[in-house]
């Protein structure tokens, strides 16, 4: 299968690309290297994808990439029980922006495309309240550009193209304990953040293109934070806590209920597994929650990180200093009811948070000095 992944240099996109290439799919990757976090981190991700396609590294030396790649491959084998194909798929990467229609047109013209997994977006709830115009431009206009070109290519080729849209649990807004677990039938018109609202708009656009142009659409409501090796280094609590533990810094906790704040954190390979199961399924229009259905408090996350560092170096245990600060008003929490994905896709998250964080810390310790000592995380 020939699959276009937008946001392919990001955390989820690069993990997804490697998994698809390992099983023999051809991936066209697209990313604009937005400066939301350092370009160097995304280039490292892309180089790891190149290795999965047996194309060699393009930017970083093999001695930096090799140990990380080998470790990621070993995790994949443990989590999915899949052995990569002896002949992997191909990888073609384009530095391009989804808001630039001309750039997108050229990519669509030059590649055969059977499916699109649209992950590219301005991410992060807090930042969306500071720059709503940018979030709307990228997340709404960029999605419209992709949908338009997909329907044009589908008409031209007379073959259906699957369009998978990465939505978010943010569309559900904040849920109190009595209705904390949300289903795909729940109301999504109460988003509290600009980010959440742009994801609602993306879902509505996808539905309209399905009904107007017979486009096969799956809206994937991703329940995060998504964590694991090479987690996005900016604005993600797991990665920040790991960085701050390593660098002996004080971590501020913004959760609505402090350390008791519970969220449906999902390990990266479990999330990727769900996305691939949707890709492989037969659908015309579907919506899926992909999460754990097992919200755990931030206190548990931090305990897992402490244990992971102790496992790596029991003789020199590290303590994370924390400070509880006022909650972000746009912060929301809910948990996924994944009954539908279990029933129709046989989806089942299998990685415990302790195991997932053990892997995240292991890879962090294998990374170059510039990565481990990043200040802005």
95 domain residue, yes or no: yes
209 domain residue, yes or no: yes
Which pLDDT does position 328 carry in this prediction?
56
342 domain residue, yes or no: yes
Which pLDDT does position 330 carry in this prediction?
54
Give the residue numbers spanning the domain of 112: 2-226+265-294+333-351
249 domain residue, yes or no: no
110 domain residue, yes or no: yes
Residue 24: give its domain's CATH number. Answer: 3.40.50.720
358 domain residue, yes or no: no
Residue pair 92/27 in contact by the 8 Å Cβ criterion? yes
State which residues of the chain have pLDDT below 50.
Answer: none
78 domain residue, yes or no: yes
**Count of domains observed in the chain:** 1
Long-range contacts of range 33-38, CB-CB < 8 Å, 24 or more positions apart? 33/9, 33/95, 34/122, 36/122, 36/123, 36/124, 36/127, 36/234, 37/232, 37/233, 37/234, 37/235, 37/376, 38/233, 38/374
206 domain residue, yes or no: yes
Instruction: Report residue 47 as tokens.
Output: 């180089």
What is this structure's pTM? 0.94
């Amino acid at each position: 299968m020939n699959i276009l992944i937008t946001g392919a240099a990001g955390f989820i996109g690069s993990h997804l690309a490697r998994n698809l290439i390992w099983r023999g799919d051809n991936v066209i990757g697209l990313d604009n290297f937005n400066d939301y976090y350092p370009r160097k981190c995304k280039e490292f991700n892309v180089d790891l994808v190149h290795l999965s396609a047996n194309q060699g590294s393009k930017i970083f030396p093999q001695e930096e990439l090799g140990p990380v790649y080998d470790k990621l491959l070993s995790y994949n084998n443990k989590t999915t029980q899949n052995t990569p194909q002896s002949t992997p798929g191909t990888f073609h990467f384009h530095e391009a922006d989804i808001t630039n229609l001309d750039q997108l047109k050229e990519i669509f013209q030059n590649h055969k495309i059977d499916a699109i997994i649209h992950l590219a977006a301005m991410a992060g709830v807090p930042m969306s309240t500071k720059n709503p115009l940018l979030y709307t431009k990228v997340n709404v206009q960029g999605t419209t550009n992709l949908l338009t070109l997909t329907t044009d290519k589908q008409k031209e080729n007379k073959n259906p193209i699957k369009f998978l849209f990465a939505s978010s649990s943010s569309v559900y807004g904040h849920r109190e304990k009595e209705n904390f677990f949300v289903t795909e039938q729940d109301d999504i018109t109460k988003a509290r953040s600009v980010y959440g609202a742009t994801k609602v708009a993306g879902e509505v656009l996808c539905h309209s293109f399905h009904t107007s142009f017979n486009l096969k659409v799956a809206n994937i409501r991703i329940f995060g934070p998504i964590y694991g090796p090479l987690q996005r280094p900016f604005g993600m609590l797991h990665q920040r806590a790991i960085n701050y533990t390593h660098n002996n810094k004080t971590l501020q906790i913004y959760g609505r209920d402090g350390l008791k704040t519970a969220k449906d954190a999902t390990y990266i390979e479990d999330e990727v597994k769900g996305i691939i199961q949707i890709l492989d399924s037969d659908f015309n229009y579907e919506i899926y929650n992909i999460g754990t259905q097992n919200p755990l408090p931030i206190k548990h996350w931090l305990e897992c990180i402490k244990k992971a560092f102790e496992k790596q170096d029991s003789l020199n245990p590290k303590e994370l200093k924390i400070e509880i600060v006022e909650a972000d008003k746009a912060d929301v929490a809910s948990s996924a009811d994944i009954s539908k994905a279990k029933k129709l896709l046989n989806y089942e998250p299998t990685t415990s948070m302790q195991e997932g964080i053990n892997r995240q810390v292991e890879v962090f310790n294998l990374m170059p000095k510039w990565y481990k000592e990043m200040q802005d995380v």
